[in-house]
């Protein structure tokens, strides 16, 4: 059983529609490939998670309010990565250790 028209003009219509549809699909594929490539570049360019985080106070001049292990999901938005010695110094100066990620235990910090 043949569902295509028998005449040449009748065959040109589905041919044109199929060519346009194929081009549209190829455009969507190209867009999806660009989006995936951008996502991969973004993941590769993402800076590494810091080992230690200082969470800042409410304003720029306020002292830090907490020390976190890098990647702690309890850390707020006002955070910056710091080296180990800065995190230890902050704990020694009385900055609170996050009760969730326990940076004091990770750092081997004993109060006193």
Alpha-carbon distance of 98 to 100, in angstroms, equals 5
Please state the pTM of the whole predicted model.
Answer: 0.63
- Give the tens place of pLDDT for each residue, 25-80: 999 999 999 999 999 999 999 989 899 999 998 888 888 999 999 989 999 889 99
Contacts (Cβ under 8 Å, ≥6 apart) of 90:
54, 64, 67, 82
Q: Cβ-count burial of 51 within 10 angstroms (0-12 exposed, 13-18 middle, 19+ buried)?
A: middle
CB 52 within 8 A of CB 86: yes
The structure tokens 């028209």 sit at 5
Average pLDDT estimate for 13-19:
94
């Amino acid at each position: 059983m043949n569902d295509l028209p028998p005449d040449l003009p009748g065959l040109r219509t589905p041919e044109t529609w199929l060519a346009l549809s194929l081009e549209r699909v190829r455009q969507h594929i190209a867009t999806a490939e660009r989006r995936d490539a951008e996502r991969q570049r973004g993941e590769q360019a993402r800076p590494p998670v810091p080992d230690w985080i200082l969470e800042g106070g409410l304003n720029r001049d306020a002292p830090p309010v907490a020390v976190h292990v890098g990647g702690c999901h309890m850390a707020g938005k006002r955070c910056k990565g710091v080296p180990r010695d800065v995190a230890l110094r902050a704990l020694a100066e009385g900055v609170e250790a996050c009760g969730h990620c326990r940076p004091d235990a990770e750092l081997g910090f004993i109060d006193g």
